[in-house]
Structure 1
Amino acid sequence: MAHDRRWAGDLRYAGCWAAGFLALLLVVDAAYGTLSAVRAALWAVLALSLFLILLPPRVTAGPGWLATRDLFRTRRVRTDRLTSVVWSDGVAQRLVLKDGDGGLVPLDPRVLVDNPRLWLLLDAGARVSRERGTLEYGVVALRRLAGKVDGETAKAVFRASGMDA
């Protein structure tokens, strides 16, 4: 089983921004002399909302499956039964995995690029899907992602060996 190694750091990042935002709101409100318990509670709700917006889903994978878990639900897809993989470009890139059982998992492709173990588990399941003939759409998206993972892995090897430019 593999998980997103950077999730804990992203969680701290979201928490620090929310705490900083709350502190700023409280200081400014206190400086104007308008701080009350009700206003402090409203600022806390606003900071909590910011935290929830910034909180990334936790991605885990195992042989034949990949799952994302956010605050409200867990989404799971069988990687050995994939029917489509869609890469949507735009401001926030998304990779949407869909399996034959109706499972649907959207995720940020950077999670797979940053975590080669997650990528290897997804790729192994996708290979099984291709062999079975269930993967009808998305081979190009998987190749594109494989290129990104390979490129980042090569860069990491060069950095570790001191050969980066």
Structure 2
Amino acid sequence: QERKLKGGMMQVSLKMAESLGDRVKLRSPVMAVAQGTDHVAVTTQNGQRYKGSHVIMAMSPTIQMKMHYSPPLPPLRNQLLQRMPLGSVWKCLVYYKEPFWRKKGYSGSMLFTMAEDCPAVYTIDDTKPDGSYPAIIGFLPANKARTLLKLKPEQRKQLIIKGYAEAMKTEEALH
């Protein structure tokens, strides 16, 4: 999140898919994973079966639990998947006319305690590498994010930018 890649992160996936060619299967939900003695096989929803030496599970625990495993997953792994909650964090972007924080010698990174009034607990400068679209991205965890659900968008915005203004000691964050 705090790293930028010119052209965007999606290009990493696209370049990998390009080099793998037709070995990349899109819109093919995996229904079963079977581990043999010398290979792993995955079976898709449409009945296609693919073999390989490894399987990378790059998905949420909820989706992993919908698959059939042979042999069954170890009990502790199965229990972990059943009880692992999904995160409840909001990412909030505030765009500005200029990156005023840089002129003040700030990086745009701020750390707030859970007790502070600012809904964000951590921020980073999200300005594009060429300097366009000056922005600060804030991360609002669980309870702080859920509390904001009760507020109108403009009220949420005001709480966030007020926190930024107080932290950087400048009213420029309010505009």
Q: Which has the larger radius of gyration?
A: 2
After TM superposition, is the score higher than 0.5? no
Which TM-score band (shorter chain)?
Answer: under 0.3
TM-score normalized with structure 1 length? 0.28
